[in-house]
Amino acid sequence: MKVKRTQVGIIGAGPAGLTLARLLFESGISTVILEAKDREYVENRIRAGVLEKGSVELLGRAKSDARLQSNAQIHKGIEISLNGDRCRVNLEKLSGGKHVTVYGQTEITIDLIEVHTKLGGEIIFEASNVIPRDFETKTPVIQYESNGDLTELQCDFIAGCDGFHGISRSSIPPSKLKFFERVYPYSWLGILAEAPPPSKELIYASHERGFALYSMRPPTRSRLYLQCENNTTLDHWPDEVIWNELRCRLGVKDAHLIQEGEIIEKGVTPMRSFVTEPMQYGNLFLAGDAAHIVPPTGAKGLNLALSDIFYLSNAFTSFYDTGSTKELKSYSKTALSRIWKTERFSWWMTSMLHKASETDNFEDRIRLAELDYLLSSEAALSSLAENYTGLPY
């Protein structure tokens, strides 16, 4: 068995693990990232692309924002449509000058990998049989196989950034964790199409036939979503039906804004809220989807992962600079305070914008009243804007 040594072993080369590695590298702290998939797969995953100010600043600290600064779109507002009647929410005015930045997670991942490898950072792709162990001790180890070799990576700490289905969280004894979960009674059908989007800003549409989201990735492509049933298969949604439903949910007045194009990606995304407490056990620390999931309605998944990395990178840096474990010990409590506020916002937006069960007319009337109140109250819109553009770290 081969033996390697690093200070922080990182499991997972998504934006959370990559950003952590970049920040620690800039602070002179050694890391090794272990990723189960190959580089091509990792760099082609299509995910979210709406960034809070704090996320953009963190990518700047990671020296991985050159293309973002050149190519990203600044969105100062969003639109909310209720059965075809559209209302623009001026995020910048209502939040005290903040906005969101639209730049695809795929591009963020490409940027982080390119910068990190160019500067000498180590990422081991196609690492198999990854097993974190001994993290209850001061000498944790990650065992893995690569190119047929079995290797033991000795480290001071392990960062589990390997997603909801990864090995990190499941390696912690179940008795040491509590799980909080809400599974929603609907899913999203998502498409990526070679067609211009119907608006320069995102449109969140609540319609009697169900929710729809109209966005872009990049500005020449449309990233479009439709609320659908949980048991939906792609066979239920031929292209013609998708385009017709998108026009319907945008509303009669604006249906002409939908321009058809080649659909280059199609998939169904289940909706879930999930939180793990605590987010650390011994010297194993969880971050991103390994610790929590939000429904995608409020565009918070990537941003929440990066806020974890803000706290975790600062804690590691503080330890190596001063020897203090104070921030490491409080990482979970600190991160969870912001996580639960963001979970609340994502749950609220999801519940308000999606059509409730056909059999629950009371719930549906309540959500419509909530939407009506939101669109008629500057105070309510200010709260939406504050949360949508991002709570402070």
Query: In CATH, what number is assigned to the domain containing residue 373?
Result: 3.30.9.10
Q: Are residues 30 and 131 in the same domain?
A: yes
Q: What is the pLDDT of residue 222?
A: 93
Same-domain status, 241 and 365: yes
Contact 158, 140 (CB under 8 A): yes
How much is the pLDDT for 360?
Answer: 75
The single residue of 132, 197, 295, 296 carrying the catalytic annotation is 296
Residues 134, 20, single domain; the answer is yes
339 and 282 within one domain: yes
Q: What is the pLDDT of residues 225-268, one digit of tens each?
A: 999 999 999 999 999 999 999 999 999 999 999 999 999 999 99
Concatenating the DSSP letter of every residue in 27-39 gives TT--EEEE-SS-H
> CA angle at residue 168 from 181 to 128, to 5 degrees?
130
pLDDT (tens digit per residue) in 281-320:
999 999 999 999 999 999 999 999 999 999 999 999 999 9
- Side by side, the strands of the sheet bearing 73-75 are 50-51, 100-102, 73-75
Q: What is the mean pLDDT of the chain?
A: 96
- Res. 361 pLDDT band, cuts 50 70 90: confident
Longest dimension (CA), the chain: 67
Residue 91 maps to a domain: no
Whose structure tokens read 């990723």?
Answer: 35
| Neighbouring C-alpha atoms within 13 Å toward the C-beta of 331 | 29
- pLDDT tier at 214 (50, 70, 90 boundaries)? very high
For residue 285, the SS3 value is: strand
Tell me the Ramachandran region of residue 333: left when phi exceeds 0, alpha when psi lies from -120 to 50, beta otherwise. Answer: alpha
Q: Do 173 and 254 fall within a single domain?
A: no
114 domain-assigned: yes
| pLDDT tens column, 132-182 | 999 999 999 999 999 999 999 999 999 999 999 999 999 999 999 999 999
3-class DSSP state of 77? strand
- Predicted confidence at residue 346, as pLDDT, reads 98
- CATH code assigned at 320: 3.50.50.60
Residue 288 · residue 308 · CB < 8 Å: yes
Distance of alpha carbon 285 from the chain centroid:
18
**Does the annotation mark 256 as catalytic?**
no
Distance CA 121, CA 110 (A): 14
40 part of a folded domain: yes
Q: Note the pLDDT of residue 218.
A: 73
Q: Among this protein's residues, is 75 annotated catalytic?
A: yes
Residue 313's Cβ-count burial label (10 Å; 0-12, 13-18, 19+) is buried
Asked if residues 304 and 292 have their Cβ atoms less than 8 Å apart, the reply is yes
pLDDT for 21-55, tens place per residue? 999 999 999 999 999 999 999 998 877 789 999 99
Q: What is the predicted pLDDT for the residue at 45?
A: 81
8 in helix, strand or coil? strand
Q: Are residues 142 and 224 in the same domain?
A: no
Burial of 235 (0-12, 13-18, 19+ CB in 10 A): exposed
Catalytic residue among 103, 184, 204, 225: 204
Let me know whether 135 and 162 are in one domain.
yes
**Do residues 309 and 295 share a domain?**
yes
Q: Name the percent of the chain lying above pLDDT 70.
A: 100
Question: Is 363 part of a structural domain of the chain?
Answer: yes
Report the pLDDT value the prediction gives residue 167, as an integer from 0 to 100: 98
Clarify whether 41 is annotated catalytic: no
Residue 90 lies in a domain: no
> By the 8 A CB rule, do 126 and 133 touch?
no
The single residue of 75, 99, 116, 292 carrying the catalytic annotation is: 75
Residue 43, beta-bridge partner list: none
Is 204 known to be catalytic? yes
Helix (H, G, I), strand (E, B) or coil at 311: helix
Hey, what are 246's tokens?
């998108």
Q: What is the pLDDT of residues 312-328, one digit of tens each?
A: 999 999 999 999 999 99
Domain count, the chain: 2
Both 118 and 33 in a single domain?
A: yes
Spatial contact of 152 and 3, defined as CB atoms under 8 Å apart: yes
Q: Do 15 and 42 share a domain, yes or no?
A: yes
In a domain, 81, yes or no: no
Distance in angstroms (rounded) separating the CA atoms of residues 8 and 193? 40
Which domain, by its residues, includes 59? 2-75+101-180+272-348
Sheet of 292-293: strands edge to edge?
A: 85-90, 77-82, 203-207, 210-216, 222-228, 178-194, 262-277, 292-293
- Which position among 103, 300, 311, 331 bears the catalytic label? 300
- DSSP SS3 for 286: strand
pLDDT beyond 90 at 18:
yes
Regarding whether 194 and 163 lie in a shared domain, the answer is: no
pLDDT score at 193? 95
Q: Identify the band that residue 373 occupies on the pLDDT scale cut at 50, 70 and 90.
A: very high
> Are residues 119 and 39 part of one domain?
yes
Residues 24 and 285 sit within 8 Å (Cβ to Cβ): no
